[in-house]
Amino acid sequence: MKFFVDTAEIDAIAELNELGIVDGVTTNPSLIKKSGRDILEVTKEIADLVDGPVSAEVVATEAGAMIAEGRKLATIAENIAIKLPLTWDGLKACKALSAEGHMINVTLCFSANQALLAAKAGATFISPFIGRLDDINLDGMQLIADIRQIYDNYGFETEILAASIRTVNHVTEAARIGADIMTAPPEVIRKLAQHPLTDKGLEQFLKDAEAAGIKIV
């Protein structure tokens, strides 16, 4: 499973990138707002930092304007994936921009039928939002499973990018189902390393090491 980081915070991306666990980055207008940075500047910095795809989202809503914005975003760097919302116009822009050879991340996906349309329109990535479905008492993970089955049934190459991940359990479940990629905030990715028994075990080992006078260097 590939790991994307869902943030526009450069320091957090750099720290995770040093561990070699960052396969890409996703941003959206809310994350750009949170960073307080200019979209073109911060996206360029991120794209220079990581080797994998960096999603940058359009803000137009009409297909022609989305295509113009997408082309502009794609000039930032070679590893830009143009992020388009899953609307009818977004699908038109997806078809046109993917035909030009751009990577496309179709976002705000909340149903299997939407994911089917995105794949047929040439999306590189589909972003089903797990957490936001869970927020309204629907089953975000079932959506990932449905899309996996449908894409496998027909051999669609669009990669399933599990998004709106809020918990470590979302990561485990998305991996079990076979999502190609997950994107999560840096805090959730750091939590993947935590386990109370690891902390407890280490505490005991350190006590015993001290008692035994173990010194290595």
Contact between 129 and ligand G3P per CB under 6 A? yes
The residue within the footprint of ligand G3P, chosen from 65, 92, 110, 131 (CB under 6 A), is 131
Complex with ligand G3P: residue 52 or 131, whichever CB lies closer: 131
Closest CA to 188 of 16, 14, 1, 43: 16
Which helix H or strand E contains 208, and what residues bound it?
Answer: helix 196-211
In the annotation, is 33 catalytic? Answer: no
Mark 159-178 with x for binding to ligand G3P (rule: CB under 6 A) and - for no binding.
----xx-x------------
Which of these is catalytic: 2, 72, 83, 191? 83
Q: If 0-12 CB within 10 Å is exposed, 13-18 middle and 19+ buried, where does residue 184 land?
A: buried
Contact between 191 and ligand G3P per CB under 6 A? no
CA 155 from centre of chain: 22
Complex with ligand G3P: residue 26 or 98, whichever CB lies closer: 26
Asked if 154 and 178 count as a contact pair (C-beta separation under 8 A), the reply is no
Q: Give the SS3 label for residue 188.
A: helix
Half-sphere exposure of 157 (CA within 13 A, CB side): 4
Contact between 115 and ligand G3P per CB under 6 A? no
Task: Find the shortest distance in angstroms from Cβ 163 to ligand G3P.
Answer: 3
Residues that bind ligand G3P (CB under 6 A): 6, 26, 28, 127, 129, 131-132, 163-164, 166, 183
